[in-house]
Amino acid sequence: MPIKPVRGGPPIPVDSPADVAVLIEHLARGDREPEWLGDHFAYLAGTRPEWFRPYQEQVVDGLLDRFSVALEDQCQLFAGAPDSCVETLARRLRDRRDFDDASALAAIGTPAALTAVAEDVRNGGDRELYDDSGFWIPPTGPAQPRFSPQRRAVFLELGDFPDADHPVGLPVDRVVADPASSPVVWHYLSLRLAGVPGLPSWPAERAHLVAPAATYEWTMFAGAGADGRYHGEQVVHDGEPDDFTDAPEFGLGRVVLRPYGPDLVYTNLHVHLTPGLVGTAGGPPIGLYPNPSCPSCKRLMFHVLTVTNTVREYGHGPRSLYLCEDCHTVAVTATNWN
Ligand SMILES: [Zn+2]
């Protein structure tokens, strides 16, 4: 069974619309642990989110407070919810700030919902909450999702793959324009951007997740040329530099992208315990940390992927890749395990 609740008892099947009706009954009665239900809803989001559609209004109307579901899964389940849901959430937000209402409103993602998100912020709502979740509020107009709703599970395969779409462990001189002066010392992976539907246009075929000699809590900005190589790298890091030793033969391979589906392991509201999985491409950023804004135009940068340092062991914690399609600028962020 791909659903592995941490607590609350063994899972129940989610193989038909009737099974989803059972989940909603449990949610309405409040007779199961919210996290137990949440793992089932995460599975539903990863497999048949359209089966949730008949319940969008019911959950928004009165069940959100015990709907324990991560934003990335809410974005699947609430996507395209009717304007009645938007009106309900916007009305409640006008009366009272509420994290659950704000998240659900953003997750709906329709023009009406994105307009309501922007109005919430301009009425004094929590801009940071939306920023951290990957929704940018421009000076005028509706909020903009700065991520693709289409998620791909990222799997690591070790070995020699000279023609890999998404290579792991390239020599640094393949990915930066001036290796002698670059702070980049480590290559995690290069992503062929066409492998993730819904990413913005980019001057090069691939973008690179790389690291300076620092273990965590740094951000690196760089420009990208038409050959994909980075230039003008700037590292923001408050900690001590790491005593880095290069290991050019270590951990070489590729990542492979697969759509979400019933073959992932859904536990503790995420899929990270799936064997071989190192992260997710597409979807919103993880939301626990501030997302970078473009140093040039200040727009919230577009989240491309987040993997853990285990993709090619160096440093600690999640590593995320962002880009600004207007300025041809990338950001790589390295947070610690929380
Ligand atoms: Zn920019």
Spacing, Cα 329 to ligand 1 middle (Å): 7
Model confidence over 39-76: pLDDT tens digits? Answer: 999 999 999 999 999 999 999 999 999 999 999 999 99
Domain closes at, from 111, 145, 179: 145
Helix (H) or strand (E) holding 122: helix 111-122
What is the reported pLDDT for 312? Answer: 98
What is the reported pLDDT for 165? Answer: 98
Model confidence at 238, pLDDT cuts 50, 70, 90, reads confident
Spacing, Cα 146 to ligand 1 middle (Å): 12
Spacing, Cα 32 to ligand 1 middle (Å): 46
Residue 270: inside a domain: yes
Spacing, Cα 202 to ligand 1 middle (Å): 12
Same domain, 129 and 177: no
Same domain, 53 and 164: no
Q: Are 152 and 257 in contact (CB under 8 A)?
A: yes
Same domain, 109 and 192: no
What is the reported pLDDT for 289? Answer: 78
Spacing, Cα 304 to ligand 1 middle (Å): 15
What is the reported pLDDT for 241? Answer: 84
Same domain, 133 and 156: no
- Measured between alpha carbons, how far is 59 from 52 in angstroms, rounded to an integer? 10
Spacing, Cα 296 to ligand 1 middle (Å): 5
Spacing, Cα 328 to ligand 1 middle (Å): 7
Spacing, Cα 27 to ligand 1 middle (Å): 43
Spacing, Cα 315 to ligand 1 middle (Å): 28
Same domain, 184 and 311: yes
Model confidence over 100-150: pLDDT tens digits? Answer: 999 999 999 999 999 999 999 999 999 999 999 999 999 999 999 999 999
What is the reported pLDDT for 287? Answer: 78
Residue 11: inside a domain: no
Residue 3: inside a domain: no
Model confidence over 262-320: pLDDT tens digits? Answer: 999 999 999 999 999 999 999 999 877 789 999 999 999 999 999 999 999 999 999 99
Spacing, Cα 308 to ligand 1 middle (Å): 26
Spacing, Cα 133 to ligand 1 middle (Å): 18
Spacing, Cα 263 to ligand 1 middle (Å): 37
CA 17 to chain centroid? 27
- Measured between alpha carbons, how far is 322 from 2 in angstroms, rounded to an integer? 30
**pLDDT(338) > 80:** no
Domain closes at, from 123, 145, 167: 145
What is the reported pLDDT for 19? Answer: 98
- Measured between alpha carbons, how far is 324 from 303 in angstroms, rounded to an integer? 9
Spacing, Cα 294 to ligand 1 middle (Å): 5
Residues ≥6 apart with Cβ < 8 Å to 312: 168, 169, 186, 187, 188, 189, 250, 251
Spacing, Cα 326 to ligand 1 middle (Å): 5
Q: What is the span of the domain harbouring residue 44?
A: 17-145
Spacing, Cα 327 to ligand 1 middle (Å): 4
Spacing, Cα 293 to ligand 1 middle (Å): 8
**pLDDT(89) > 80:** yes
Q: How many residues does the chain have?
A: 338
Domain closes at, from 129, 145, 161: 145
Residue 5: inside a domain: no
Residue 208: inside a domain: yes
Q: Are 106 and 100 in contact (CB under 8 A)?
A: no
Spacing, Cα 335 to ligand 1 middle (Å): 22
**pLDDT(161) > 80:** yes
- Measured between alpha carbons, how far is 101 from 282 in angstroms, rounded to an integer? 23
> Which of these, 75, 45, 256, lies nearest to 148 by C-alpha position?
75
